[in-house]
Chain A
């Protein structure tokens, strides 16, 4: 990837971080930690990888994305807004009774959302269904599903993993946001899931490991997935929970907490400095 393109994507991701942080701060609730860890992955998906058109968002031939970690709307909604699916101003009403941007991803009121999610462990199954439909209809769209590394403790994920291999869904690409933390603490302490590469491989998936904050590496992983035939691919994306805001990084306490005014000021200043650095 050209260095200039890398910079563009990093700029977009930083803007999305600022918008997500503001949305969570303004409504004083929401899941910022896992949203910041997933922001670079979502930016690459919507600005580099997915074949989608905000003006034709229900096109049956479009690529599909399922936010299986459905609470990370402070990442998904800003990225959708920046991509043109709805006005950035709408983010003001995130989680508000007056708006349409519900706390967890919702497909009927939020343009660009392909599946309603929020209850963990269910999104990969829906993505499998979409990929099976694509195969049945001989369409060449691809389906992507982003999972949390705590979320994959749900047994349904592994039921879906078996089904995806059975139906040889090479049009399906899963991503695990490996930030190592969940609400109650470190994933390794709450319920260990490693070795994840061996688990997914043994379930019949092609496994790619990538740095989830390196936009070029993430984009390359999606390209590699497209070349894999006869089996689904999973990208194990190593990330940092709270990425981009110093005091939120690697801190499980920021899973579902909103910053107060002072904390928001510090976080905003840090991200704006990063923005300046990228623009400069």
Chain B
């Protein structure tokens, strides 16, 4: 079992690590430095840390101006406010001029827990993905997060990255030959009956689901799709062709995120059954994070259930095709 660490904590550590060697790196926050864990960078490099106060719209605009002068900017807040409140500033001041600002939204999804629906952003994947030229990612663990931060520093364009609040098990450090590349998914587990494509902390659940399925004699492939946009089309197409059934899993609304991205690709290029697992177009609510996740079905058990359904659908389709 790998280290248990929240991706926000890994983000904060990575900023400090790379801050020492990347003088153009600027980190911004909107009065949430303790929660988003940019406070380590603030302490280490006070001159290059800008706390913009509770003013996310302005933060995105200032980030754009800094990037227009050659700075590599990580503008950080909660996902709700970075992606939601400041959406139009991100679109018009950052993405349209193709400026090198990384919009970072911490506390994404329902695992925010007690704070409840106003702070549980489940729409960030959809609304950020809808902006032309925007890269959208959500690393699943601390190991992947550090490499994602490095990749974003080296990437010149705009990107949105979601961080999670909860401490999660590190699973990518034990993958042989693991190498993080923007826009390239990682096959964590090979399998032949069904593919589970997951993002963020649903990756850990997907791996557990594969274990449950194995007991039923179902061989599940698990893909860690840390980058939702651009989607790793080659990897998804190969999985669809080779396993014939797909489940997508995300801690986000099933409208517009990873599931939609996979369906958009497969409907045209390799139409196999795809079941989208995530939040079913509902607002979240307050509660201890694990209990909220359970209440909304964001668990390994439900992923396994969806995978069995997908396998059954595949069988039915094969049957009906045979009858033709």
Contacts and interface: CB of A to CB of B under 8 A. Distances in A.
B92 to A, nearest CB: 4
A221 interface: no
B57 A125 contact: yes
A137 to B, nearest CB: 7
Nearest to A125: B61
Contact of B61 (A114, A118, A129): A129
Contacts of A115: 64-65, 68, 97
A280 interface: no
Given A119-B88, A130-B68, A163-B55, A125 B48 contact: no
Contacts of A155: 57
A126 B101 CA distance: 12
Given A155-B57, A159-B58, A163-B55, A130 B97 contact: no
A60 B70 contact: yes
A236 interface: no
- Which of A119, A123, A133 counts the most B-chain CB atoms under 10 A from its CB? A133
B69 A125 contact: no
Judged by DSSP, the binding face of B is: helix
Interface string A124-135: 111111111110
> Interface range on chain B: under 10, 10 to 19, 20 to 34, or 35 or more?
20 to 34
Contact of A156 (B65, B70, B89, B98): B89
A124 B64 CA distance: 11
Contacts of A156: 55, 57-58, 61, 89
A166 B28 CA distance: 14
Interface in B23-63: 26, 47-48, 50, 52-53, 55, 57-58, 60-63
A155 B50 CA distance: 20
B23 to A, nearest CB: 10
B184 interface: no
- Which of B53, B55, B61 counts the most A-chain CB atoms under 10 A from its CB? B61
B218 interface: no
B62 A60 contact: no
A127 B65 contact: yes
A126 B65 contact: yes
Q: When A and B form their complex, which 5 residue pairs have the shortest distance between CB atoms, in order from nearest? A: A129-B65, A125-B61, A159-B58, A133-B69, A159-B55
Given A108-B97, A126-B93, A128-B61, 8 more contacts: A60-B70, A66-B65, A115-B65, A118-B92, A126-B65, A128-B58, A156-B58, A167-B50
Interface of A: 60, 66, 106-108, 114-116, 118-119, 121-134, 136-137, 155-156, 159-160, 162-163, 166-167
